Structure 1
Amino acid sequence: MQLDINGLTPAQFLAEYWQKKPLVIRQGFKHFQDLISPEELAGLAMDELVESRRVYQQAGQWQAEFGPFDSYDHLGERDWTLIVQALNNWVPDAEALIQCFDFIPRWRLDDVMVSFATPGGGVGPHIDLYDVFICQGSGRRRWRVGDLGPHKEFAAHPALLHTEAFEPIIDTELLPGDILYIPPGFPHDGITLEQSLSFSVGYRTASAKDMVSALADHLSEQDLGTQQIEDPDRELTTRSGCVDNRDLARLRTQLTNMLTDELVSEFSGRYLTQSKCALDLPDEP
């Protein structure tokens, strides 16, 4: 499998598009072959270890259900979507797809998501907080992408966060082998025109909040950062309820001194390489 980014080199793509603006990549993969068939995907979604969901509309209302699933007959032949996360955990051929994007480091990789949809199927207009390359497999899907802006989001369903209507800056059909790159924050909406499969290679970001929370867990698990603040040079205070600037400096120094290169390296190695969809396999008897 070989990737062609509209004739751009990976360096040019990163300089001009990565985390800047969306891009339609025509025939990024020539002669693209689905990594899995709809029947195999349905079988995978029967496994309780696989993260799967179905999205559809019923009486004009959005619905979402989480697997495992054993039947789809009641959904009919239109307007529903089956999604499976972390296909790379289950289908070895997904590794070849990931390798095509290895100009982005693996620690940024989230997973490979696969979406099967019947005509009219989609998950609704939404905004993602990660970079994604949506690789069209069999079938056709229409995509609309809006620009960055103060888009209002709302819960169309407890499991579906949608965004208000937006003016598209991209309105196009993806054919087999086409790719749509969407950076974080750009609203988008995909509607399937005929039964289709798409494979999304997602790249996550890490917020300071998430990293600090994970770092606190790491310190607790490894029994690190236990040193106490020392202040043998403390001066007389006349305001016992005040945390003065010298105390704030001590607190800041205590925190920053803890973040040694060794600690940051060890923590980052654990945190950034942890799979979003880690397998929770049962212990051997």
Structure 2
Amino acid sequence: MVNPLTHLGEMPVADFLRDYWQQKPLLIRNAFPDFVSPISGEELAGMALEEAVESRLVLEQGDEGPWQLRNGPFTEEEFLALPRTHWTLLVQAVDQWLSEVAVLKKYFRFIPDWRLDDVMISYAADKGSVGPHFDYYDVFLLQAEGKRLWHQGQKADETTPRLEGTPLNILSEFEAQNSWLLEPGDMLYLPPQFSHWGIAEGACTTISIGFRAPSASTILEDLAAELAHGLPQHLRYSDPGIAPTSTPAEIDAESVARLQQQLGAWLQQPQNIAQWFGAVMTEAKYPDTVALDAGEAEDWREQLAQGAELVLNPASRCAFCREPQTLFVDGESFSAPLPFAERFCESHSIASGDVEAFPELAQTGGVIDQLVSQGTLIYPPEDY
């Protein structure tokens, strides 16, 4: 079992979270000593040929203009036609396909699992990059093969000028405040909105461990729909005890303040919010990938009795809540005993002992059957 990192270089994780997380960048030299890349550039290109894998190519000078973006899947002929320099291949969610990559996520479990997005890997030819840009999420950039020169610039937002004529989020103005050359095993942490620009020095591979941060607009839109669905019809705007008005056409400050107070009361639904939050934060990024394994382990009872186990699909997500006691998996909530939910979310596996301890979960049509039928629980891959 891989344990979470306790130090980032020589810095204790607690110090990092206090002083750097979501605050300022940090370069961690030799974060992973003697690091060996779990995937080569050729293997990454092979993944980009597959329909089910999300991939992109960025060419600094494409045939359609500067900073051209192409979306996969690609063909071998397209790769053979690429120039010798100044291009980058990016493949999303490689952790969902390769257990050697998925294991890297376990090192970062000092951050809640539900905050982690996926592991993206990029391969760049010499001088390849995706241009100066910024993201709205935290990311650890682990150098896997070769060298990449990273420039870190100013904080940016939606008002920062962009380069026109490209679908990419390229900043038209960028001034480096710090520059670092990363070699295999080195890692750079970047908080949200810090602009950055990574340029390959020779061919190189970089692993990006990104963390999700839903926007306020997304949260409010989704939460409002969830809460509205559960609120009774008798809860309405009310204004008992109001004084007579001399301006009946006016929406006065007192009415607005009254509405704000009532909205606050309607939002005080802690169980509903916990249920909504658990479901939203465990939604699979690629549900179709989970569905590919639906029903794969239908004979799980017999297999577990013979010593096998079920494991969480690499494309799935899970979490639990203590109050109310709930297990969340792939955007769905399940009633499950807290000890089981805790153990499953920690180990991502189910063995015969779990069935013996919690027989109600093994009933026909029970939680385990449901998770198997939707592809969330599978037999361990050969390289698991």
Indicate whether the TM-score tops 0.5: yes
Partner of 1:139: 146
Match of 2:62 among 58, 63, 67: 58
* 1:172 shift after superposition: 1.8
Name the residue aligned to 1:261.
270
Q: Are 1:110 and 2:117 matched, yes or no? A: yes
Report Cα offsets for 1:117-173 as digits up to 9, x if no partner. 111111001111111100000111111112436883314544201113433232121
Contact 2:66/2:166 (8 A) holds in 1: no
Write the distance in 2 (CA, Å) between the matches of 1:187 and 1:31: 29
**Matched residue, 1:160:** 168
Kindly tell me the number of residue pairs found equivalent between the two proteins. Answer: 283
Structure 2: distance between partners of 1:37 and 1:200: 15
TM-score, normalised on structure 1?
A: 0.89
Specify which structure has the bigger relative contact order, considering alpha-carbon pairs within 8 angstroms and separated by 6 or more residues: 1
Question: Aligned residue for 2:280?
Answer: 271
Q: 3-state DSSP class of the match of 2:208?
A: strand
Q: 1:131 touches 1:181 (CA, 8 Å); kept in 2?
A: yes
User: Cα deviation per residue 1:45-81 (whole Å; 9 max; x = unaligned)?
Assistant: 2222222110002266110011111131111322111
The structure number with the bigger radius of gyration is 2
- RMSD of equivalent CA atoms: 2.5
Partner of 1:228: 236
Written as runs of structure 1 = structure 2, the 5 A alignment for 1:2-41 is: 3=5, 4-41=7-44
Q: 2:206 maps to which residue?
A: 198
* Cα 1:61/1:105, change in 2 over 3 Å: same
1:130 alignment partner, one of 134, 137, 146: 137
145-154 or 188-197, larger mean C-alpha shift: 145-154
Identity %: 39
Distance 1:177 1:270 in 2: 35
Structure 2 gaps, min length 5: 296-384
**Partner SS, residue 161 of structure 1:** coil
List gaps (5 residues or longer) in structure 1.
Answer: none
Aligned in 2, Cα 1:172/1:239: closer, same or farther, shift over 3 Å?
same
TM-score by length of 2: 0.67
- Give the secondary structure class of the aligned counterpart of 1:123: coil
C-alpha deviations, 1:169-205, integer Å up to 9, x for none? 3212111111011111211111111111111011132
3-state SS of the aligned residue for 1:168? coil
C-alpha distance in 1, partners of 2:51/2:115?
A: 27
Contact kept, 8 Å, 1:135 with 1:180, in 2: the verdict is: yes
Greater displacement, 85-94 / 123-132: 85-94
